[in-house]
Amino acid sequence: MKHLAILGSTGSIGRNALSVAEAHPDEFVVSGLAANASVELMECQIRHFRPRQVALNDKAAADELRERIKDLSVEILSGPEGILAIATMEEVELVLEAIGGSAGLLPTLEAIKVGKNLAFVNKEVLVMCGPIVMQAAKDYGVDLLPVDSEISAIFQCLSDCHEEALQHGEIHRLILTASGGPFRQTPRDQLQNVTPKQALRHPTWQMGPKITIDSATMMNKGLEVIEAKWLFDMDVSQIEVIIHPESIIHSMVEFVDGSLLAQLGVADMRVPIQYALTYPRRLPTPAPYLNLSQICALHFEPIPRDKFPCLSLAYLAAEVGGTLPAVLSSSDEVLVKAFLDEQIGFMEIPVILKAVMNRHDVELKPSFDDILAADGWAKSTTRELINTKRY
């Protein structure tokens, strides 16, 4: 029985992870749960899975939750320190980190420092702190197991040969696939007036609002490029993104002899989540199986960079490195919220993001404190530009 702690249990990834745990009751014990402020859903999760400890970041929400479940012997913690306590629970062997944005950085590092294997979906962990996280994982001997479908696909393709292939220079490139999002066929000049409701209509995946908007701008793929750079120790020039609207091939690895390995499957997050939770084993999935006889064709298209400039900005941040990826990620976090709140237009996202990146003085070998400072600077500068309209 593997003891799990799930950070972000009330989000879409957390709920799917609990679905996997429920499908395999002889494999998993849910020991800890953490979320931001979703009292009602967290109460349901507590009553169903009976974790030993739970944390809500919002202290008022934690107080309400204590009152709701006072008939149970579950310890309710609160605030950032409560989240850290769940991430470092003694009996837990694997932490699923699904807290979005920079809020997931410290729990991730603290979990690694106490020797917890980490399944992560939060791209920002490696985007902002790639060298620090990879070195910590090496120092403390823990596994980093990607949950994101495209990064998981690369991980699965390389799981038996990655280190040896890298040592001998056998990997030519990594190919990340993108569905194209809701605006794949929308002309660029029509993107100025798209609404949050339109941008949230992803054609393939059911995801949270932040990642769905990032998919619409292609920032999601840019963040994956940076993530793949660090996780697989690849040069940015060896990582390519292509549009694959069917979302059946989740990503591919091309070797120097021209051979391609691809991971295929239905568009269901329970598949990569389960692989991360059970690695290196595979178990029957609660997700449907892919019916190959029903696939008429697979299509691939280049990404028009002029239409999706966020992808080029992410490549630039990956090439420069240092604190610039943290600025990219943190500014985007603020911009997506501003777009969802209808403070800015869809095509203002890359314009403001570029302005913030241009203003930043990059620290090329940052400490963790430098990254946190860059995170704060990027968010405050982005808010300033949104409010003043000076970009």
In a domain, 308, yes or no: no
In a domain, 209, yes or no: yes
| Claim to verify: residue 36 and residue 101 sit in the same structural domain | yes
Q: Check pLDDT > 80 for residue 136.
A: yes
Mean pLDDT, the chain, rounded, equals 95
* Region of poorest pLDDT, from 99-113, 125-139, 310-324: 99-113
Q: What is the pLDDT of residues 53-102, one digit of tens each?
A: 999 999 999 999 999 999 999 999 999 999 999 999 999 999 999 998 78
Domain CATH for 382: 1.10.1740.10
Q: What is the pLDDT of residues 169-204, one digit of tens each?
A: 899 999 999 999 999 999 999 999 999 999 999 887
In a domain, 316, yes or no: no
Domain CATH for 29: 3.40.50.720
Q: Which ranges constitute the DSSP H helices of the chain?
A: 12-23, 39-49, 59-68, 79-87, 105-113, 124-140, 149-158, 162-167, 196-199, 209-217, 219-231, 270-278, 309-320, 324-340, 348-359, 368-388
| Claim to verify: residue 184 and residue 63 sit in the same structural domain | no
Check if the beta carbon of residue 321 is closer than 8 Å to that of residue 364.
yes
| Claim to verify: residue 134 and residue 171 sit in the same structural domain | no
pLDDT at residue 132, rounded to an integer: 96
Q: Say how many residues make up the chain.
A: 391
User: Looking at 120, 142, 164, which one is the last position of a domain?
Assistant: 142
pLDDT at residue 65, rounded to an integer: 98
In a domain, 276, yes or no: no
**CA-CA distance, 334 to 375, in Å (whole number)?**
11
**CA-CA distance, 151 to 355, in Å (whole number)?**
29
Domain that holds residue 343: 321-388
| Claim to verify: residue 131 and residue 160 sit in the same structural domain | no
| Claim to verify: residue 226 and residue 339 sit in the same structural domain | no
| Claim to verify: residue 252 and residue 383 sit in the same structural domain | no
| Claim to verify: residue 10 and residue 132 sit in the same structural domain | yes
Q: What is the pLDDT of residues 252-297, one digit of tens each?
A: 999 999 999 999 999 999 999 999 999 999 999 889 999 999 998 9
Its pTM surpasses 0.75 = yes
pLDDT at residue 391, rounded to an integer: 84
Helix (H, G, I), strand (E, B), or coil: what is residue 385? Answer: helix
| Claim to verify: residue 36 and residue 77 sit in the same structural domain | yes
| Claim to verify: residue 160 and residue 132 sit in the same structural domain | no
pLDDT at residue 300, rounded to an integer: 97
Q: What are phi and psi of 318, to 5 degrees?
A: -65, -40
**CA-CA distance, 378 to 382, in Å (whole number)?**
6
- CA 129 to each of CA 3, 125, 354: distance values in angstroms, whole numbers, following the listed order: 27, 6, 21
Q: What are phi and psi of 78, to 5 degrees?
A: -145, 160
Q: Check pLDDT > 90 for residue 41.
A: yes
Check if the beta carbon of residue 53 is closer than 8 Å to that of residue 89.
yes
**CA-CA distance, 345 to 338, in Å (whole number)?**
9
Check if the beta carbon of residue 325 is closer than 8 Å to that of residue 318.
yes
Residue with structure tokens 């220079």?
169
In a domain, 135, yes or no: yes
| Claim to verify: residue 189 and residue 124 sit in the same structural domain | no
In a domain, 303, yes or no: no
Q: What is the pLDDT of residues 142-175, one digit of tens each?
A: 999 999 999 999 999 998 776 777 777 899 999 9
pLDDT at residue 103, rounded to an integer: 86
Query: DSSP label at 293?
Result: G
pLDDT at residue 208, rounded to an integer: 82
In a domain, 313, yes or no: no
Check if the beta carbon of residue 278 is closer than 8 Å to that of residue 171.
no
Q: What are phi and psi of 145, to 5 degrees?
A: -115, 110
Per-residue pLDDT, averaged over 212-224, amounts to 96
| Claim to verify: residue 137 and residue 220 sit in the same structural domain | no
**CA-CA distance, 268 to 94, in Å (whole number)?**
22
User: Looking at 110, 142, 174, which one is the last position of a domain?
Assistant: 142
pLDDT at residue 128, rounded to an integer: 95
Q: How many domains does the chain have?
A: 3
pLDDT at residue 345, rounded to an integer: 97
User: Looking at 84, 108, 142, which one is the last position of a domain?
Assistant: 142
Q: What is the pLDDT of residues 365-386, one digit of tens each?
A: 999 999 999 999 999 999 999 9
**CA-CA distance, 210 to 219, in Å (whole number)?**
11
pLDDT above 90 coverage of the chain, percent: 90
| Claim to verify: residue 161 and residue 259 sit in the same structural domain | yes
In a domain, 247, yes or no: yes
